[in-house]
Amino acid sequence: MAKENQLLEEITGSEYKYGFSSDIETETAPKGLNEDTVRFISAKKNEPEWMLASRLKAFRYWLTLEEPRHWAHIQYPVIDFQDIIYYAAPKRPKELKSLDEVDPELLRTFEKLGISLEEQKRLSGVQSTIAIDAVIDSVSVKTTFKETLAEKGIIFCSFSEAVQEHPELVKQYMGSVVPYTDNYYAALNAAVFSDGSFCYIPKGVRCPMELSTYFRINTSGTGQFERTLIIADEGAYVSYLEGCTAPMRDENQLHAAVVEIIAHKNGEVKYSTVQNWYPGDKQGKGGIYNFVTKRGICLGDNSKISWTQVETGSAITWKYPSVILKGNNSVGEFYSVAVTNNYQQADTGTKMTHLGKNTRSTIVSKGISAGFSNNSYRGLVRIAKGATGARNHSQCDSLLMGDKCGAHTFPYIEIKDKSAIVEHEATTSKIGEDQIFYCNQRGIPTEKAVALIVNGYCKEVLNQLPMEFAVEAQKLLTVSLEGSVG
Amino acid sequence: MHMLSIKNLRAGIADKEILKGFNLEVKPGEVHAIMGPNGSGKSTLANVLAGRSDYSVTDGEVKFNGKDLLELSPEDRAREGLFLAFQYPVEIPGVSNINFLKTALAEIRQYRGLAPMEAKDFLKLIKEKQALVELQGTLANRSVNEGFSGGEKKRNEIFQMAVLEPTLSILDETDSGLDIDALRIVANGVNKLRSKDRSFVVITHYQRLLDYIVPDFVHVMFDGKIVKSGTKELALELEEKGYDWIRKEQGEKIEA
């Protein structure tokens, strides 16, 4: 045991690869939050009156709320909302005609992150095409392949641009799945959100490439409040990827995003995230508070929404990508791997709300805890009255590394229809010295053994990710857990 | 030249000494059986040789092909050609047998300066070795030992041994928990791998296994060391008289 602990301590020594910060000329709002801040953000974005009105309504509502602190299995100091910068944007000319006008330091930043904003270059040499919307701090700096996509009628742009160019769509859908009244952070986001991605796939169109948004927090003292809206019209299909990183800083930075997905009749949206926000140092100092509301609605019959998430970063992860299954025969899926190491905390899971007939949902959650971390699965399966023939299968597995971490499962099930079939399976296991030694005895060194075992454990979820992402995720898992087992 | 040479090995777990001056010499091509009552230190010997970190060595030396075995990490011992067939094979969910073996083989080959095997050669090898232990084709695609029966797990150990082709194999009570058919399959697998360059140390409680894997030498272990060595007839004698006879003899020796 002593040996195991010693090795465990050795392994928790890996460094966060994306911890650098870039010296980009930035324009920020003054610290603090009041109506003027909201007006400032809206004015910066040259928003129409209706958008400002919507923000102010949300802000006033937010003022009436209290910060939720008690129900999640996480602990953190009280957040001083007046000590956060709500808007930070790289300075740039008003109109960006080409990539040449973008601050070269900014391009270098994304290059360092392995993201190319030049369309002819492909991500890490892989020959598939991915359209990327790059968001740094509060604004989208560049969206690639916009024209190619436009030929098919697909809209993929920054949220700010959508507000200007497609106000009807934004008005129609924004807040329709996550209203500003939903929760504390959703209200905050609705008031101060700065940018994010907007995708609309028209009727019958199958999006020919993966759409992806890369979020980067750079400026010290800022919070990132992005908003993403994805709409698959009738019979449309899109696969959307989201990646995120932040510099290493001693302070805790807040990331409170809202993602809404709408799938119409026969529409399908596959949403994959690899979340790698800075998790804080080995003593638990610094790191991102990731308090996010993600929800999709299967509006039409036979529609499908699938969430896949690999959560390795953040000091605290607090999110529940959910699906409302309104259309008959609609399908909701949630595949999750959440890794916590050192002093990280994660309280994550999903909500599947079955309203339509013969709706089906699948939940596969894999938690991995190492170091002194705490990892909780929290999930709700709700079957409403009249949702005849609804089915759910949930599987929640926890893997423990060492004896100083915690794994918790909080499944909630509410069934109002007798015809429902709901299954829940849960396991907890420990990555053992035995497994490692067994691998060692076959010639496999410890680091590789841990990677092999963890990837085996997460296989069901990793299989859901698009190829390029799966490879990244596998590497990330290995790095996140480097040194955590003996 | 000895393949394995163990001299005055003392080792234990925590403060408890289990191996108390163990000696053994194994030449290439030889099969040595080590028998002995429960608690005599047989499994400790296997684990110490494989390098399990729970055990600490306090004295003595072990040479494997001329190298100081005790200086090597467990993975380097494996790469040098030492294989332990586990008494309790470990399950690794989600990792297929094939992937596991491919990773292991690549590591071993890399250590020896060889490139990883071509996929088609590897699959051919797997197919061929699977037949050796009469393993079903699907078993190789299943997760390592997950949901395997006791017999399947032991057969899988021999299958892995066949693929990795070690020079020295230590079989730690591979016969325990096997029915007579599985025992025969496991023993056949081992016999087919016997060659003039390959040696085996077979640890067992029962003489039964030695009917199938005929050893060149039989050693009786008692209280952390070998107290009697002989040929295969010694195993029969033990079967007949039990271990009390040894115990008595040892007791008398200690008194004298």
Pair of tokens at residue A25: 């000329």
Tokens 């009436």: give the residue. Answer: A64
- For A124-128, what is the mean pLDDT? 38
Q: How far apart are CA A419 and CA A342, in angstroms?
A: 44
Burial of residue A359 (CB within 10 Å: 0-12, 13-18, 19+) is buried
Name which of A448, A456, A486 is nearest B94 (Cβ-Cβ): A456
Q: How far apart are CA B45 and CA B50, in angstroms?
A: 9
Name which of A434, A443, A456 is nearest B143 (Cβ-Cβ): A456
Identify whether the C-beta of residue A287 lies closer than 8 Å to the C-beta of residue A217.
no
Q: How far apart are CA B134 and CA B182, in angstroms?
A: 10
- pLDDT above 70 covers a percentage of chain A that reads 79
Strand partners, A316: A289, A345
- Residue A214 has a pLDDT of 77
Residues 410-449 of chain A with CB under 8 A from chain B are: 429, 432-435, 437-446, 448
Identify whether the C-beta of residue A84 lies closer than 8 Å to the C-beta of residue A223.
yes
Torsion sign over Cα A439, A442, A448, A453: negative
- Residue A228 has a pLDDT of 92
- For A261-269, what is the mean pLDDT? 96
Task: Verify whether the Cβ–Cβ distance B104 to A456 is below 8 Å.
Answer: no
CA-based R_g, chain B, Å? 18
| pLDDT tier at A125, thresholds 50, 70, 90 | very low
Name which of B54, B86, B107 is nearest A444 (Cβ-Cβ): B107
Q: What is the ipTM of this complex?
A: 0.95
Q: For residue A27, what is the DSSP state?
A: E
pLDDT, tens only, A277-320: 777 777 777 778 888 899 999 999 999 999 998 888 778 888 89
Instruction: State yes or no: pLDDT of A120 exceeds 60.
Output: no
Q: How many CA atoms lie within 13 A of B21 on its CB side?
A: 1
- Residue B102 has a pLDDT of 93
Task: Verify whether the Cβ–Cβ distance A453 to B95 is below 8 Å.
Answer: yes
- Residue A386 has a pLDDT of 92
How far away is chain B from the Cα of A389, in angstroms, using its nearest Cα? 32
Q: How far apart are CA A392 and CA A379, in angstroms?
A: 12
Instruction: State yes or no: pLDDT of A473 exceeds 80.
Output: no
Average pLDDT, chain A: 81
- For B221-247, what is the mean pLDDT? 87
Q: How many CA atoms lie within 13 A of A331 on its CB side?
A: 12
Name which of B86, B90, B104 is nearest A444 (Cβ-Cβ): B104
Neighbours of B140 (CB within 10 A): 21
- For A447-476, what is the mean pLDDT? 80
The domains found in chain B, sorted by start residue, are 30-55+73-244 (3.40.50.300)
Task: Verify whether the Cβ–Cβ distance A432 to B90 is below 8 Å.
Answer: yes
pLDDT, tens only, A95-116: 445 555 556 666 666 666 665 5
- Residue A13 has a pLDDT of 41
- For A371-392, what is the mean pLDDT? 91
Question: A441, A474, A477: which to substitute to probe chain B, counting the most B Cβ within 10 Å?
Answer: A441
Pairing of strands B199-203, B168-172: parallel
Structurally, how many domains does chain A consist of? 1
Task: Verify whether the Cβ–Cβ distance A457 to B93 is below 8 Å.
Answer: yes
Instruction: Please state the φ and ψ torsions of residue A96, each to the nearest 5 degrees.
Output: -95, 110
Instruction: State yes or no: pLDDT of A247 exceeds 70.
Output: no
Q: How far apart are CA A481 and CA A369, in angstroms?
A: 9
- Residue A154 has a pLDDT of 92
3-state secondary structure of A170: helix
Instruction: State yes or no: pLDDT of A1 exceeds 50.
Output: no
Say which residues have a Cβ less than 8 Å from residue A475's Cβ, sequence separation at least 6: none
In this predicted structure, which of A270-274, A419-423, B247-251 has the lowest mean pLDDT?
Answer: B247-251
H helix and E strand count, chain A: 12, 23
Q: How far apart are CA A304 and CA A323, in angstroms?
A: 9
Q: How far apart are CA A236 and CA A267, in angstroms?
A: 5
- Residue A142 has a pLDDT of 65
Task: Verify whether the Cβ–Cβ distance A443 to B79 is below 8 Å.
Answer: yes
How far away is chain A from the Cα of B243, in angstroms, using its nearest Cα? 31
Identify whether the C-beta of residue A88 lies closer than 8 Å to the C-beta of residue A137.
yes
How far away is chain A from the Cα of B50, in angstroms, using its nearest Cα? 7
Question: What b-and-e string marks burial along A60-90, b requiring 16 or more CB atoms within 10 Å of the CB?
Answer: ebbeeeeeeeeebbbeeeebeeeebbbbbbb
| pLDDT tier at B9, thresholds 50, 70, 90 | very high
Pair of tokens at residue A358: 């013969």
- Residue A124 has a pLDDT of 39
Instruction: State yes or no: pLDDT of A200 exceeds 60.
Output: yes
| pLDDT tier at B113, thresholds 50, 70, 90 | very high
- Residue A245 has a pLDDT of 63
In this predicted structure, which of A53-57, A143-147, A254-258, B65-69 has the lowest mean pLDDT?
Answer: A143-147
How far away is chain B from the Cα of A268, in angstroms, using its nearest Cα? 28
- Residue B197 has a pLDDT of 93
Pair of tokens at residue A363: 């939940």
3-state helix, strand, coil in chain B (%, to 5): 40, 30, 30
- Residue A114 has a pLDDT of 60
The top-scoring range by mean pLDDT among A101-110, A163-172, A218-227 is A163-172
Domain containing residue A269: 2-482
Question: B103, B111, B171: which to substitute to probe chain A, counting the most A Cβ within 10 Å?
Answer: B103
Identify whether the C-beta of residue A232 lies closer than 8 Å to the C-beta of residue A204.
no
Q: What is the DSSP string of A338-382?
A: EEE-TT-EEEEEEEEEE-STT-EEEEEEEEEE-TT-EEEEEEEEE
- Residue A160 has a pLDDT of 87
pLDDT, tens only, B124-146: 999 888 888 887 777 777 899 99
Q: How many CA atoms lie within 13 A of A151 on its CB side?
A: 5
Residue type, A361: S
pLDDT, tens only, B194-221: 999 999 999 998 888 898 999 999 999 9
Average pLDDT, chain B: 90
